[in-house]
Amino acid sequence: MIRKPLLRRHLPLLVSLAVLPGAAFAELSAVPDSLDITRDQKATIQLFGVEGRLRVRASDESVIQAKLEGSEIRVEAGEIGTAVIRVRDGESSISIPVAVRSDEGGGGGGGGGGGDSYTLLGWNDLGMHCMDADYSVFSILPPFNNLRAQLIDRNGNGVVSDGVTVTFEAMTDPEGSINSFSVGKTNFWDYVADFFGVTPPAGEGLAGFRSAETTPQVMNLDAAAGMFVADGIPITPYDDTLAKNFYPMVRVAAHDGNGNLLAEARVVLPVSDEMTCIGCHGSGSGDDARPDSGWLNDPDPERDYRRNILNLHDQEQGAKPAYQSALATLGYSPAGLLATADGGRAILCASCHGSNALPGSGVAGISPLTEAMHSQHDTALDPLTGQALGDSDNRSACYQCHPGSETRCLRGVMGNALNDDGTLAMQCQNCHGQMADVGREGRVGWLEQPNCQSCHHDGQRETDALTADGLLKTWADERYATNADVPAAGFDLYRFSKGHGDLQCEACHGATHAEYPSSHVNDNLLALDVQGREGSIGECTACHQNVPDTATGGPHGMHTVGSRWVERHENVAEDNHQQCAYCHGADYRGGPLSEVKVARSFSAEGRRVSYQPGQQVGCYDCHDGPRGD
């Protein structure tokens, strides 16, 4: 929770929200459709299109009280945070997001601050960081979570960093879970010297940051990227009651040189230890993975499958000179990896099989870890379906090893997209290809990844980024393209790219695999706090006190949204209405990019035109096509 010393109560203020006359609402709707208020403030929401009995409920009554009076909802703010007012009549239901901020600019845990002069955006760079559940036998990845943040001056000065300090600390999520320490939740620090030759204090990560704690830690400034960073936070997927929580939250706060709070944000640090091989390598599994000497049947299931893997690895590689040379180079037992681990020295897989996730790792002449793992298991049989993992066309095959059926790390808007029949429209393979593609010899793991422009081009949203040959599709249109040569020449990763106003792409769209809106509630809190709704940060007022008046200067060449644009778009459209087709469709009746995110109502052509979320905006909504009056 946000700490009380940051808060200051003020006299109640009644906010009246008038409805413009002449609006027509065919179904249940609310004006406004979201609220952003301060502690103890009161507001009124007007309901329209009511059919039958009305029922109203607030998701968190400590944050807001919502009382129905006729066709109005009287709202009174309580504690800082976010809540949702759920309204149901006899025909349908709607949800109204509410953010309660502190009048000091604390932002209800996200976005606001400095008298609403600043917005703070925060995110995790990968959407999920994996760690091992046990480190006593071998390790694939250490606990190493990366936090990012950017501060925007809403008075027109854009991204700012000079004279600013940004910190992070553990905070309680809406379900009451907090993760404020890591010691005792993992045995990583018992074996870290075996892996990396260093001995950081228990609780401290490899890059010097401790796990998120109740004491704030200062993030570093990456001046070139215009953002604050904290790399290597060793957070685990266990909260302080030792309950599993793959999506723990931190409070990120920005202060000026005098210590005044400018803005704060609620950010998820996703982490999972569901990275497992137990389905095939646990003792008693299928014969395909059983070592010739038999299963080891270790009573600890986490150690059991790991020891079986090392035993099988020794069996298949032991006679090769390159294997013996690598063992000698790394000081491992000449008897093999199992003997080394059983002798008390844990193995880092990347010591031999280099990984770009662990720079400087690997032995020359030995295949990189990504290549070795995916090529080796391309023909392995899924223990649940019996199908070769490389032949699968859905995420269940990937979830055999990656997190996972419990974690469900692929949870962003793309991973949740549905076909007309209700089935998932996109799987891991739609972007990454089959397992053989990921394990292709010469592929650069962690860097040779999908990009945005393979699917987002020419006003379209495709659901398959690859050609039949497994190569990324290429198009001339670069409106939604990632930046070239980031983080290194020849690569163009989304998580290193930036765009409108020098904001990092992930700052507005969310982390890879968790693009807004996510299926997990904690991921969506920042967007709710900043703009009052889920989804990509797309409301101009999130970052601008005074909304700029522009035809093409918004994100991805977007125009201003709202009544101001309705009033002035005619001249722009008449000069070159073809440019409108990119978003509004070749027939000017709407396209995927013109989809309304929140209910809006405008005065146009002497009448009221209203839109509900999901509707697409076209020229014919108000007049007779792009040339009509």
**Spatial distance between the Cα atoms of 366 and 297, rounded to a whole number of angstroms:** 30
Is the pLDDT assigned to residue 110 strictly greater than 60? Answer: no
Is the pLDDT assigned to residue 282 strictly greater than 90? Answer: yes
Confidence of residue 46 (pLDDT cuts 50, 70, 90): confident
174-188, 239-253, 553-567: which range is least confident on average?
553-567
Average pLDDT over residues 3-21: 30
* C-alpha distance from residue 446 to each of 35, 443, 488, 491 (Å): 40, 9, 12, 10
Is the pLDDT assigned to residue 234 strictly greater than 80? Answer: yes
Average pLDDT over residues 588-612: 87
What's the token pair of residue 421?
């029949």
**What percent of the chain has a predicted confidence (pLDDT) above 70?**
93
Average pLDDT over residues 230-250: 98
Is the pLDDT assigned to residue 104 strictly greater than 60? Answer: no
Is the pLDDT assigned to residue 589 strictly greater than 70? Answer: yes
Q: What average pLDDT does the chain have?
A: 89
Average pLDDT over residues 17-27: 41
Note the pLDDT of residue 19: 33
**Spatial distance between the Cα atoms of 584 and 188, rounded to a whole number of angstroms:** 53
Contact between 179 and 170 under an 8 Å Cβ cutoff? The reply is yes
Q: Given the DSSP bridges, would you call strands 347-348 and 138-139 parallel, antiparallel or unpaired?
A: parallel
Beta-bridge partners for 65: 76
**Spatial distance between the Cα atoms of 466 and 441, rounded to a whole number of angstroms:** 18
Name residue 595's amino acid: E
Confidence of residue 629 (pLDDT cuts 50, 70, 90): low
How many other β-carbons are positioned within 10 Å of the β-carbon of residue 28? 21
Note the pLDDT of residue 81: 76
Q: Given the DSSP bridges, would you call strands 29-31 and 42-48 parallel, antiparallel or unpaired?
A: antiparallel
**Spatial distance between the Cα atoms of 538 and 297, rounded to a whole number of angstroms:** 54
Give the largest CA-CA distance in the chain. 86
Fold classification of 4-101 is Immunoglobulin-like (2.60.40)
Confidence of residue 26 (pLDDT cuts 50, 70, 90): low
Beta-bridge partners for 486: 492
Note the pLDDT of residue 103: 53
* 481-514 CB burial, b ≥16 within 10 A, e <16: bbbeebeeeebbbbbbbbbbbebbbbbbbbbbbb
* C-alpha distance from residue 600 to each of 354, 514, 546, 614 (Å): 52, 27, 19, 11
31-35, 278-282, 402-406, 444-448: which range is least confident on average?
31-35
197-206, 295-304, 537-546, 596-605: which range is least confident on average?
596-605
User: Which stretches of 2-59 are assigned E, i.e. beta strand?
Assistant: 14-15, 29-31, 35-38, 42-48, 55-58
Question: Residues 466-479: pLDDT tens digits?
Answer: 999 889 999 999 99
Question: Residues 288-315: pLDDT tens digits?
Answer: 999 999 999 999 999 999 999 999 999 9
CATH 2.60.40.1080-classified regions of the chain? 4-101
Note the pLDDT of residue 23: 38
Note the pLDDT of residue 113: 40
Is there a cis peptide before residue 174, judged by omega within 30 degrees of 0? no
- DSSP per residue, 204-231: B-TTSPBPP-SS-EEPEEETTTTEEEEE
| Cα atoms in the 13 Å half-sphere on the side-chain side of 574 | 6
Cα dihedral: 24, 25, 29, 31 (round 10): 0
Is the CATH number 2.60.40 carried by domain 107-275+516-540? yes
